[in-house]
């Protein structure tokens, strides 16, 4: 059904472009859609949440100091932990996150993870469990975002591009969804360009006229390139005077902002960032491999948020950052060492509807008896409770039983401002 | 005018296909060459498949799954028919011939002619000294991986033994290492030759040990930093989870004593005396395996000689007793040193779960994303029964390819080709004359495009290897960028004094039609000629009316952009000079190249 709408869009916009002789700037003209949008940023490899949001004071800091003598984020010096006025601070490379937190746009949720009996320290199992949204069952056919799109009453079928993947390949959270706009760059994105390019695309569509997944994927690809071709994406001016970092993650996030602003009725956008599997040479004193990665992440996400917020889209957009698991509380060696796979972790949620500047979740502690199995930050909060709060209260989809089958007894995390909760008559 | 039928083979002057291949173990040909068209494949159970090539030949099926497609006039229907008296016999003969290997004449000639491959024959130690240790600027050179990223295209396009290339590709994915990793990039020629290709048809336990002792793996999965008391479990975990038992045999965080047990007929080493071992592994087995591997490192310090070779460092080894897959019983006694690592790899390689894990991966890579359980069970049994045999993996591959499930038409064309496969099979089908090589402008231009497909050889960072699952590759980025790479190949002429098309599309048409009456140059005849060339078969009654063919014909006959000229009537022939010289206003040469691009983009070509 959504491809029918793309067809309609393509026809009408082609007509417009033909008449006016210029590329259209907004697909739906001047009418701005108010559709809520979630941007799911998955951190591949197991982000070390304990060093992204380390303890700042109290007994937790004392234990942290013992567990990570060679890897800790220091409390003093030029690379000291960023003070949030809380019992936890931010890694010194996460200045953008700190600013968003202090602006009240960013919420930290500590102690999240897979439900304890289903914890796995395998990247591949934990990634599947998280992204398929069915912990304990890694053979689920579809992903949690696929099921959200299928069950959400906010998706009417009139959307041009409900799903945008700013990456070379689609995440498991969209498994079994074959009509996503998947793109990692826009320049030169066309097969056989030249005099016969439109006929070429028409012929490809003609050869894939069936209903199989491959037919859908090819037609999605043909729609993608035609839409990109018709939109004016080359002269992008980010909102709020933002300059995106000149790197591939910055490019990916900028593309998300660009396409959201084209008003294609995006409901879900995804991107991912790897490089978090820090078994070795994680870095010490607030510098090194991990610090570089945190800066890379924080700077790009901050640019994305400031761009969208500066363009008046802050109330529409919610960004969630998470990973398949956290890492072990104790470092795995001396200097130049790292951390092995663990479980409990931090999640970060950013948005205009998010009651930020606060910490949520449950951090049990870092003493041996408080660690999960004596090893990890305890995963007290089922990650589905965090995503469920977003799905229900921000995206306005009450059908958590369908998005997360087998998940019951959901309670709001209360990080969505009550006066901003989706007021469509769903229970709140 | 060059004879393009032989252009690609001009490097192998004096040797016919038969001449090259009869040098290999070969059973005498039978006289019978009756060819019975197969029934169309049954409707697939999976819903992934777009329209398949109708009535695909058995030879086409085999060459697409066990090679990189058809190479017209060389590795095609005629060649395959000559291999035996019936399909099963021909398939078996093809597999035997391919696995046996031999002098890969054209590959070697092209390497020599390129003259820019300098790392291929160096020993591990030479590679280490020449590319890793650099006194001057302290940075290692990536020359070896750079050469291999190009060599993989050269080999796959021109090898006489494409099945061996596919098998090497499978194991490179299985034991995946990111090519530009710090140690790997300087020693890749050794990793590819001494580990992957030396063991890919041999014994799995020996293969596993060879991977564990190689500096590329020791560094990539951090075992070089795995000490007594500070064990780094990264490698231990991936060895179990990816290389041997597989995550399907993971029992989570349970205690070893809670895991169901199975009886195995093993003795000695670390095998429990009663033969009862855990059916599955738990996290504790990962930690204990990591302890077994403490002290396995690279000779990478000057005090040891800095040879780049494997070094067992007993001072770093955890010499206390350990328990792996034994329900908690300490089956690794104290003070066994390096033997702990060897024994734990024997347990993992001989565990029945490993055979099942690898058989499942093989069936999904070579047959279908959803293969029948029977072929997995049968291949797993061959794997396990021959676990001590020197040619264990050769037997495993033969069992897989000669299995009834492999020839069952319901699984034909059920997988989407990965981008590398599309590009290489297009080069073969179009008879490319293009030696992809280091330090070469055309190869660089090709590389930029290929990079955008997301499937450049050895460029996958995580240790699980490029996915083989079709759904992964069914996204707009992979599809569009792959087709753009093929477009570039079809449109590009070689650099140099005598530019020739890298893929001679128009020259073959000229050659075919130049001595025929001009009235033969009908649109249907021109496109049918290339369809039959690329797919190496022609439907009964010809291509006209075939839906893919008709879509391409519509493109071919598009109205020119100069609207003063009408759409070309399909029943009109095209004048020779208009086509052969790509003249305004119809630009038939450009249209022809576009049509061949579409044939490659079609579901008939994209699925295997």
Region A234-243: mean pLDDT is 89
Beta strands in B359-421 (DSSP E): none
The 10s digit of each residue's pLDDT in A199-217 is 999 999 999 999 899 998 9
pLDDT of A247 strictly over 80: yes
Instruction: Quickly count helices (H) and strands (E) in chain A.
Output: 12, 9
Crossing angle for the helix pair B588-601 and B505-513, to the nearest 10 degrees: 110
Farthest CA pair distance, chain A: 71
Angle at A359 between CA A357 and CA A360, to 5 degrees: 130
Residue of A nearest to B219 (CA): A280
- A180-218 per-residue burial string, b: 16 or more CB within 10 A, e: under 16: bbbbbbbeebbbbeebbbebbbbbbbbbbebebbbbbbb
Instruction: Assign A49 a pLDDT band (cuts: 50, 70, 90).
Output: very high
Chain A hits for B230, Cβ within 8 Å: 332-334, 337
Q: Do B594 and A338 touch (CB under 8 A)?
A: no
Chain A hits for B318, Cβ within 8 Å: none
Say whether residue A293 is in contact with chain B using an 8 A CB cutoff. Answer: no
Q: CA of B471, closest CA in chain A: separation in Å?
A: 8
pLDDT of residue A27: 43
Say whether residue A69 is in contact with chain B using an 8 A CB cutoff. Answer: no
Say whether residue B178 is in contact with chain A using an 8 A CB cutoff. Answer: no
Beta strands in B295-426 (DSSP E): 296-298, 310-312
Q: For residue B437, what are the contacts with CB-CB under 8 A and spacing of at least 6?
A: B110, B114, B116, B117, B150, B154, B443
Region A91-114: mean pLDDT is 98
Say whether residue B260 is in contact with chain A using an 8 A CB cutoff. Answer: no
Averaged pLDDT in 10-residue chunks for chain B of 608 residues = 44 43 39 32 51 97 98 96 97 98 97 97 96 72 96 98 98 97 96 98 98 98 92 95 95 93 96 97 96 97 95 97 97 98 98 98 97 98 98 98 98 97 98 96 95 94 93 90 96 89 96 96 98 97 97 96 92 96 94 98 98
pLDDT of residue A178: 81
A73: left (phi over 0), alpha (psi -120 to 50) or beta: beta
Say whether residue A124 is in contact with chain B using an 8 A CB cutoff. Answer: yes
**A72: which DSSP letter?**
P
Chain A hits for B601, Cβ within 8 Å: 191, 204, 207
Q: Do A202 and B472 touch (CB under 8 A)?
A: no
Say whether residue B397 is in contact with chain A using an 8 A CB cutoff. Answer: no
The 10s digit of each residue's pLDDT in A341-392 is 999 999 999 999 999 999 999 999 999 999 999 999 999 999 999 999 999 9
**CA distances (Å), origin A36, targets A39, B152, B417, B481:** 10, 46, 37, 31
Indicate the Cα dihedral angle A291, A292, A295, A298, nearest 10°: -90
Q: Do A274 and B462 touch (CB under 8 A)?
A: yes
Instruction: Assign A25 a pLDDT band (cuts: 50, 70, 90).
Output: very low
Region A256-284: mean pLDDT is 92
Q: For residue A55, what are the contacts with CB-CB under 8 A and spacing of at least 6?
A: A61, A63, A64, A87, A88, A89, A366
Chain A hits for B591, Cβ within 8 Å: 196
pLDDT of residue A420: 47
Q: CA of A349, closest CA in chain B: separation in Å?
A: 26
pLDDT of residue B513: 96
Instruction: Nearest by CB to A124, from B452, B464, B478: name it.
Output: B464
Question: What are the structural domain ranges in chain A?
Answer: 38-186+233-420
Q: Which two tokens stand for residue A163?
A: 């799903």
pLDDT of residue B196: 98
Q: How far apart are CA B384 and CA B372, in angstroms?
A: 19
Lowest-confidence pick of A3-12, A389-398, B178-187: A3-12
Q: Do A217 and B479 touch (CB under 8 A)?
A: yes
Contact, B310 vs B234, CB < 8 A? no
**CA distances (Å), origin B106, targets A286, B82, B157, B424, B508:** 54, 21, 10, 16, 22
Q: How far apart are CA B275 and CA B402, in angstroms?
A: 33
Pairing type for strands B276-278 and B261-263 reads antiparallel
Chain B hits for A191, Cβ within 8 Å: 480, 483-484, 487, 597, 601
pLDDT of A17 strictly over 90: no
Q: Do B555 and A202 touch (CB under 8 A)?
A: yes
pLDDT of residue A6: 61
Instruction: Nearest by CB to B480, from A169, A221, A280: name it.
Output: A221
How many other CB atoms are there within 10 angstroms of residue B445's CB atom? 13
Alpha helix segments (H runs only) across A27-73: 49-52, 58-67
Stronger pLDDT, A177 or B234, i.e. the higher one: B234
Say whether residue B462 is in contact with chain A using an 8 A CB cutoff. Answer: yes
Q: How far apart are CA A100 and CA B429, in angstroms?
A: 56
pLDDT of residue B371: 97
Say whether residue A316 is in contact with chain B using an 8 A CB cutoff. Answer: no
CATH class of A38-186+233-420: alpha beta
Region A123-137: mean pLDDT is 93
Chain B hits for A188, Cβ within 8 Å: 484
pLDDT of residue B139: 67
pLDDT of residue A23: 36
Q: Give the rounded distance of the alpha carbon of A69 from its chain centre.
A: 32
Say whether residue B253 is in contact with chain A using an 8 A CB cutoff. Answer: yes
Q: CA of A157, closest CA in chain B: separation in Å?
A: 21
Stronger pLDDT, A8 or B122, i.e. the higher one: B122
Say whether residue B472 is in contact with chain A using an 8 A CB cutoff. Answer: yes
Say whether residue A190 is in contact with chain B using an 8 A CB cutoff. Answer: yes
Stronger pLDDT, A13 or B303, i.e. the higher one: B303
Would you list the DSSP string of B190-203?
A: HIIIIIIIHHTTS-
- A247-264 per-residue burial string, b: 16 or more CB within 10 A, e: under 16: eebbbbbbbbbbbbbbbb
- Beta bridge partners, B296, equal B312
């Amino acid at each position: 059904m959504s491809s029918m709408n793309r067809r309609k869009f393509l026809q009408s916009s082609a007509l417009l472009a033909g008449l006016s002789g210029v590329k259209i700037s907004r697909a739906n003209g001047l009418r701005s859609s108010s559709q809520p949008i979630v941007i799911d940023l998955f951190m591949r490899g197991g982000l070390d949440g304990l060093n992204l949001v380390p303890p700042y004071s109290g007994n937790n800091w004392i234990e942290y100091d013992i567990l990570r003598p060679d890897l800790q984020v220091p409390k003093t010096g030029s690379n000291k932990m960023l003070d949030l006025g809380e019992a936890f601070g931010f890694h010194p490379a996460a200045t953008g996150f700190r600013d968003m937190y202090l602006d009240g746009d960013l919420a930290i949720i500590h102690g999240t993870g897979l439900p304890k009996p289903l914890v796995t320290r395998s990247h591949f199992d934990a990634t599947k469990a998280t992204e398929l949204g069915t912990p304990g069952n890694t053979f689920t056919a579809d992903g949690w975002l696929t099921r959200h799109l299928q069950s959400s009453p906010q998706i009417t079928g009139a959307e041009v591009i409900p799903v945008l993947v700013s990456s070379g390949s689609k995440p498991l959270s969209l498994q079994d969804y074959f009509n996503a706009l998947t793109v990692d760059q826009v320049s030169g994105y066309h097969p056989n360009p030249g005099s016969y390019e439109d006929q070429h695309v028409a012929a490809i569509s003609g050869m894939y006229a069936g209903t199989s997944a491959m037919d859908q994927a090819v037609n999605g690809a043909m729609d993608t390139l035609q839409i990109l071709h018709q939109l004016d994406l080359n002269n992008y001016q980010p909102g709020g005077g933002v300059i995106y970092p000149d790197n591939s993650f910055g490019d990916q996030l900028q593309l998300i902002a660009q396409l959201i602003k084209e008003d294609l009725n995006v409901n879900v956008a995804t991107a991912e960032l790897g490089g978090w599997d820090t078994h070795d040479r994680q870095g010490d004193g607030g510098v090194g491999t991990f610090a570089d990665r945190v800066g890379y992440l924080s700077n790009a996400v901050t640019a994305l948020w400031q761009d969208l917020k500066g363009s008046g889209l802050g109330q529409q957009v919610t960004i969630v950052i998470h990973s398949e698991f956290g890492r072990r509380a104790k470092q795995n060696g001396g200097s130049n060492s790292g951390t092995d796979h663990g479980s409990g972790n931090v999640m970060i949620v950013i948005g205009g509807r998010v009651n930020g500047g606060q910490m949520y979740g449950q951090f049990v502690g870092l003493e041996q008896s408080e660690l999960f199995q004596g090893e990890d930050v305890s995963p007290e909060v089922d990650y589905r409770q965090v995503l469920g709060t977003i799905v229900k209260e921000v995206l306005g989809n009450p059908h958590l039983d369908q998005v997360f089958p087998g998940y019951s007894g959901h309670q709001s995390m209360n990080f969505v401002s009550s006066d901003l909760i989706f007021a469509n008559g769903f229970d709140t | 005018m060059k004879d393009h039928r032989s252009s690609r083979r001009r490097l192998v002057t004096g040797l016919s296909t038969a001449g090259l291949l009869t040098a290999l173990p070969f059973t005498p040909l039978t006289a019978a060459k009756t060819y019975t068209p197969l029934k169309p494949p049954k409707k697939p159970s999976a819903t992934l498949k777009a329209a398949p090539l109708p009535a695909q030949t058995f030879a086409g099926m085999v060459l697409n799954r066990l090679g990189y497609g058809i190479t017209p006039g060389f590795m095609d229907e005629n060649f395959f028919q000559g291999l035996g008296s019936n399909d099963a016999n021909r398939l078996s003969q093809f597999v035997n011939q391919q696995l046996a290997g031999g002098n890969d004449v054209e590959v070697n000639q092209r390497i020599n002619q390129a003259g820019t491959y300098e790392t291929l024959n160096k020993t591990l130690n030479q590679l280490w000294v020449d590319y890793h240790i650099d006194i001057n600027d302290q940075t290692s050179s990536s020359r070896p991986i750079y050469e291999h990223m190009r060599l993989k295209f050269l080999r796959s396009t021109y090898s006489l033994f494409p099945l061996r290339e596919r098998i090497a590709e499978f194991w490179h994915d299985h034991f995946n290492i990111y090519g530009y990793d710090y140690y790997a990039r300087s020693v890749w020629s050794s990793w590819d030759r001494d580990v992957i290709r030396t063991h890919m048809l041999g014994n799995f336990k020996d293969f596993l040990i060879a991977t564990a002792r190689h500096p590329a793996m020791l560094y990539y999965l951090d075992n070089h930093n795995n000490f007594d008391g500070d064990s780094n479990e990264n490698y231990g975990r991936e060895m179990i989870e990816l290389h041997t038992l597989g995550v399907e045999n993971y029992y989570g965080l349970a205690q070893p004593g809670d895991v169901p047990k199975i009886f195995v007929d093993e003795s000695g080493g670390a095998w429990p005396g009663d033969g009862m071992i855990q059916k599955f592994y738990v996290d504790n087995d990962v930690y204990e395996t990591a302890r077994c591997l403490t002290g396995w490192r690279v000779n990478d310090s000057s005090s040891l000689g800095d040879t780049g070779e494997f070094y067992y460092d007993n001072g770093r080894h955890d010499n206390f007793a350990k328990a792996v897959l034994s329900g908690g019983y300490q089956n690794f006694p104290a003070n066994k040193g390096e033997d702990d690592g060897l024994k734990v790899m024997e347990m993992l390689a001989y565990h029945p779960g490993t055979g099942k894990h690898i058989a499942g991966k093989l069936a999904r890579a070579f047959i279908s994303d959803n293969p029948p359980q029977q072929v997995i069970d049968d291949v797993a049994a061959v794997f396990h029964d021959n676990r001590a045999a020197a040619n264990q993996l050769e037997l495993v591959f033969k069992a897989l390819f000669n299995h009834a499930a492999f020839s069952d038409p319901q699984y034909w064309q059920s997988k989407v080709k990965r981008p590398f496969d599309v590009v290489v099979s297009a080069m073969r089908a179009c008879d490319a004359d293009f030696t992809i090589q280091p330090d070469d402008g055309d190869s660089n231009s090709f590389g930029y495009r290929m990079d955008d497909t997301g499937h450049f050889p050895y460029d996958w960072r995580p240790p699980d290897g490029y996915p083989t699952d079709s759904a992964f590759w069914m996204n707009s980025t992979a599809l569009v960028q792959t087709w753009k790479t093929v477009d570039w190949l079809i449109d590009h002429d070689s650099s140099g004094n005598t530019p020739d098309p890298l893929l001679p599309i128009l020259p073959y048409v000229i050659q075919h039609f130049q001595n025929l009456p001009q009235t033969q140059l009908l649109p249907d005849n021109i496109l049918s000629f290339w369809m039959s060339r690329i797919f190496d078969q022609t439907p009964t009654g010809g291509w006209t009316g075939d839906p893919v063919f008709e879509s391409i014909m519509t493109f071919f006959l598009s109205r020119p952009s100069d609207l003063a000229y009408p759409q070309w009537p399909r029943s009109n022939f095209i004048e020779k000079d208009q086509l052969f010289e790509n003249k305004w206003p119809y630009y038939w040469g450009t249209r022809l190249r576009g049509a061949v691009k579409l044939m490659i983009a079609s579901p008939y070509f994209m699925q295997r």
